[in-house]
Structure 1
Amino acid sequence: MEVNETAERTRLRRELVDLLNTYSSEAQHIGHAFAGQHRLHATDMHALLAVMHAERRGTPLTPGKLGEAIGLTSGATTALIDRLERGGHLRRSRESADRRVVHLRYADAGMALALSFFAPLAPRTDEVMAQFGVDELQVIEKFLQGMNGALISYRDELRGH
């Protein structure tokens, strides 16, 4: 590796980490604004995002998996789910032959609130993504998956898993 390439790699590493930190911070500001408007706690937002992402993957969360994902005890997870269900954000669903298995789904009312709040952001992010070809977006996807994996691995290590 040339000296110039090493220097550029160092610069890019620093710049990308700074950009990811800024993105994370700005996304949290928007999430807090949504939470504030709808009287939600930060943990509620983490739970709703976890449920939404699991649904998109086609693997809805159980209460136990949600608790694991956001680092809550069984009792705290139940209280969280109860609160979000009362607020119309989540619903419990029994979809398998085993009626004891409960899956968590985004409730229609909660999804409508989220869509109306975040809808103005979509054209802005679409405009940015339109500047990249599919091949470039695939590289970005791979990079972000790797970075998320690194964060999750470290988070689990901190939790003692």
Structure 2
Amino acid sequence: MTNVFEAQWEASQVEAMEALRAWAVAFAELNQQMSSWLDLPTTDANALGQVLWADSSGDPLSPARLGQRIGMTSGSVTVLVDRLEAAGLLARSREHSDRRRVTLRPTPAARERARAFLEESSAEIAAAVQGSSAAELATSTAFIRKMAAAASGATTRLRAARS
């Protein structure tokens, strides 16, 4: 298999990869700030953020889906969920006809703490998104989705190779 990183890249391709790297670094730094703001370990803050986002979009997470999103095993997710539940930030519920299925929901306290953080942190990001044209957003969204699918495909392939 030829190493694609040994091939000659066009300047625009390098620039796109650098922009994605810069976004990943900036987003990780913002997550660190959220972690400090919430006074939680980074992993816990990231998990809580995933639960909050999923809940607000109307697609709440199960512990298994949370583990997939944050790259943790089911046992590790159970310990993490236990910590967040003990801190009063997360609640497990059984909302489905199959009572074995657990749904993770943020508590009102978690929603309030996240709201306060977003009030302080989101101005620049909101301005960047709202200052972009519909065409820019559509092109960016398509590219980011393509890159996310490629990264997910690579992860799936690598996991299978290790099994």
The TM-score with structure 1 as length reference comes to 0.81
Structure 2 CA distance for aligned equivalents of residues 116 and 48 of structure 1: 14
Correspondence 1:54-65 to 2 at 5 A = 54-65=54-65
Taking the aligned partners of 2:16 and 2:59, their CA distance within structure 1 comes to 31
Question: Is residue 140 of structure 1 aligned with residue 140 of structure 2?
Answer: yes
Q: Does 1:102 align with 2:93?
A: no
Deviation of the 1:92 alpha carbon: 1.0
Identical-residue share of aligned pairs (%): 31
Q: Find the counterpart in structure 2 of residue 88 from structure 1.
A: 88
- What amino acid does structure 2 have at the position aligned with 1:62? S
Q: What is the TM-score when the length of structure 2 is the normalising length?
A: 0.80
Which residue identity lines up with residue 67 of structure 2 in the other structure? G
Match status 1:45 vs 2:34: no
Corresponding residue number in structure 2 for 1:19: 19
Residue pair 2:31, 2:46 contacting (<8 A) in 1 also: no
Q: Which moved more, 1:11-20 or 1:42-51?
A: 42-51
Residues 67-92 of structure 1 show CA distances to partners (whole Å, capped at 9, x for unaligned) of 23323222211111010111222211
Q: Which amino acid aligns with 2:138?
A: Q
Q: What amino acid does structure 2 have at the position aligned with 1:37?
A: W
Instruction: Specify the alignment match of 2:3 in structure 1.
Output: none
Change (3 A) 1:121 1:38: closer
SS at match of 2:99: coil
Contact 2:52 2:111 (8 Å CA) reproduced: no
The residue number in structure 2 matching 1:4 is none
Segments of structure 1 that go 5 or more residues without pairing to the other structure are: 1-6
Gaps of 5+ in 2: 1-7
1:130 and 1:59 map into 2 onto residues whose CA distance is 24
When structure 1 is superposed on structure 2, of 77-86 and 35-44 the one drifting more is 35-44
Q: What's the secondary structure of 1:132's corresponding residue?
A: coil
Cα 1:128–1:72 shift into 2, 3 Å: closer
Task: String of CA shifts for 1:76-112, please: whole Å, max 9, x gaps.
Answer: 1111101011122221122122222210112221121
Measure, in 2, the Cα distance between the counterparts of 1:34 and 1:122.
Answer: 11
Count of matched residue pairs: 154
**1: CA distance between counterparts of 2:31 and 2:76?**
21
Spell out structure 1 runs of 4+ moving beyond 6 A.
none
How many Å apart are 1:156 and its aligned residue? 2.8
Alpha-carbon separation, structure 2, partners of 1:135 and 1:12: 19
Mean Cα deviation higher: 48-57 or 101-110: 48-57
Distance 2:82 2:38 in 1: 16
